[in-house]
Amino acid sequence: MKDHPKIVSVVGARPQFVKLAPLAAALKGKFRHIIVHTGQHYDDNMSGLFFRQLEIPAPDINLKIGGGSHGRMTGRMLTALEKVLQQEQPALVLVYGDTNSTLAGALAAAKLGLKVGHIEAGMRSFVADMPEEINRRLSDHISSLLFCPTSTAVANCRREGLGRKVVLSGDLMYELLHRLRPVIRDNQAWMKKWRLESGQYFLMTAHRAANVDDPDNLRRLLEIMERLPMTTILPLHPRTAARLRSSRLMTRMKKIDHLKLCEPLGYLDMLTAAYHARAVLTDSGGLQKEAVFLRTPVLTLREETEWPETLKRGNRLVGLDAGRTMRTLNHLPATKATSFTVRGKRPSEIIVSALTKEIARG
Ligand code: UD1
């Protein structure tokens, strides 16, 4: 084991744990894999629960840097990660997705002259001031290997002159979902707990800064919630809960009879909720494509998506427009099956093989 090359994974937020799960399993026995948790997400149901349910090895290091402004959070992570990477001296650092933890990990590693692999590279919303867009663009440009989940992502990288570093890997989230689909489908405990019938409710989530940090947009979200024609489960993200309280809109939301509010759900419960829902309404990038993969129609509460492929498979952009949302709910889009392999290979297999080659090149 000691002779295997060392890889450090930097993770911190929910969507990263989900990508780490299948990859950590595939790296086992081939690399010494050190998991560093920045602490960006720290509540048990947004972090620890994911590690347990998805059987991800516990983080080797937890930096416990959660909360605060973007600059302060990213800066503190950068300082702490530099120290960790200097001590560990890995052959390569892996970063995932588009959060502040991604950017801090990529920047700390690149500044130390370490190789960086970016999982879920090449995604673009083309909204330049969106925090995630800033994180993904910068991370892509300082990484040595860009693992793109889709051919659109490959094209985006090529357009920015990054073609040489690209690997079309497919999507680790789909790989995990494919493996767990039967468990997700048969998770009766969750359906019973909420006394829900398959196909008789909607699932809604919202946490994007552009949607919840602006009180006018928060009001538009509330109008959508009020007009929904069916029981709706809404796991409330801490960011959204905080904004609802500070804009004094929480009481108005709690008055909506058909809305069932709950704490953020763990991976399996969230996916069961999506699997059996009549439709999903969300501004999350991850849930958008998970719903499509599970063949549940999805209404995206944004004007753009980083996943244009999903628009042909049951995803519709409705923005924060209550009228458009209600019309789409009346005529739900047809769904279509999505494959998770690339030329017959699993994403984790493709990534491990590219990492092995890159590290051997020195
Ligand atoms: C972050 C990511 C986003 C991703 C999302 C998944 C960035 C810029 N954004 O957004 O891309 O889709 O995670 O959920 O990195 N909080 C808690 N408990 C927690 C975690 C957070 O109370 O376990 C609080 C924080 O203190 C903060 C707020 O929730 O006040 C928002 O958390 P933050 O990590 O800033 O961003 P997210 O909105 O979760």
Residue 67 near ligand 1, beta carbon < 6 Å: yes
Look at residue 362 in the predicted model and tell me its pLDDT.
Answer: 83
Q: What confidence tier does 3 reach under pLDDT thresholds 50, 70, 90?
A: confident
Look at residue 351 in the predicted model and tell me its pLDDT.
Answer: 98
Q: What confidence tier does 2 reach under pLDDT thresholds 50, 70, 90?
A: low
Look at residue 191 in the predicted model and tell me its pLDDT.
Answer: 85
**Residues 228-286 pLDDT 10s:** 999 999 999 999 999 999 999 999 999 999 999 999 999 999 999 999 999 999 999 99
CA geometry: angle 140, 112, 141, nearest 5 deg = 15
Residue 287 near ligand 1, beta carbon < 6 Å: no
How is the chain split among helix, strand and coil, in percent rounded to 5? 50, 15, 35
Look at residue 349 in the predicted model and tell me its pLDDT.
Answer: 98
Q: What pTM was computed for the model?
A: 0.96
User: Which mutation among 16, 18, 19, 40 tests ligand 1's pocket best, with the greatest number of atoms within 8 A of CB?
Assistant: 40
What does the block give as tokens for 130?
């969106």
Of 51, 3, 56, 52, the C-alpha closest to 31 is 3
Q: Give the atom of ligand 1 at the shortest distance from the alpha carbon of 46.
A: 23
Beta carbons within 8 Å of 20's beta carbon, 6+ residues apart: 9, 11, 35, 56, 96
**Residues 73-126 pLDDT 10s:** 999 999 999 999 999 999 999 999 999 999 999 999 999 999 999 999 999 999
Q: Give the atom of ligand 1 at the shortest distance from the alpha carbon of 98.
A: 11
Q: Which residue has the tokens 């990660």?
A: 81
Look at residue 190 in the predicted model and tell me its pLDDT.
Answer: 86
Look at residue 1 in the predicted model and tell me its pLDDT.
Answer: 59
User: Which mutation among 99, 102, 244, 287 tests ligand 1's pocket best, with the greatest number of atoms within 8 A of CB?
Assistant: 99
CA geometry: angle 135, 274, 20, nearest 5 deg = 40
**Residues 30-73 pLDDT 10s:** 999 999 999 999 999 999 999 999 999 999 999 999 989 999 99
Q: How far, in Å, CA of 17 to CA of 207, rounded? A: 18
Ligand 1, atom 14, residue with closest C-alpha: 14
DSSP-based three-state secondary structure for 4 = coil
Residue 15 near ligand 1, beta carbon < 6 Å: yes
**Residues 309-355 pLDDT 10s:** 999 999 999 999 999 999 999 999 999 999 999 999 999 999 999 99
Look at residue 157 in the predicted model and tell me its pLDDT.
Answer: 98
Residue 14 near ligand 1, beta carbon < 6 Å: yes
Strands of 303-361 (E only): list them: 315-317
Q: How far, in Å, CA of 335 to CA of 293, rounded? A: 9
Residue 100 near ligand 1, beta carbon < 6 Å: yes
Fill in the amino acid letter for 33: H
Q: How far, in Å, CA of 115 to CA of 6, rounded? A: 12
Strands of the chain (E only): list them: 6-11, 32-37, 61-62, 92-96, 116-119, 145-148, 166-168, 202-205, 232-235, 259-262, 279-282, 298-300, 315-317
- Report in angstroms the alpha-carbon separations of 306 from 152, 203, 317, 338: 9, 21, 11, 16
Determine the average pLDDT of the residues in 18-23: 98
**Residues 163-209 pLDDT 10s:** 999 999 999 999 999 999 999 999 988 888 888 899 999 999 999 99
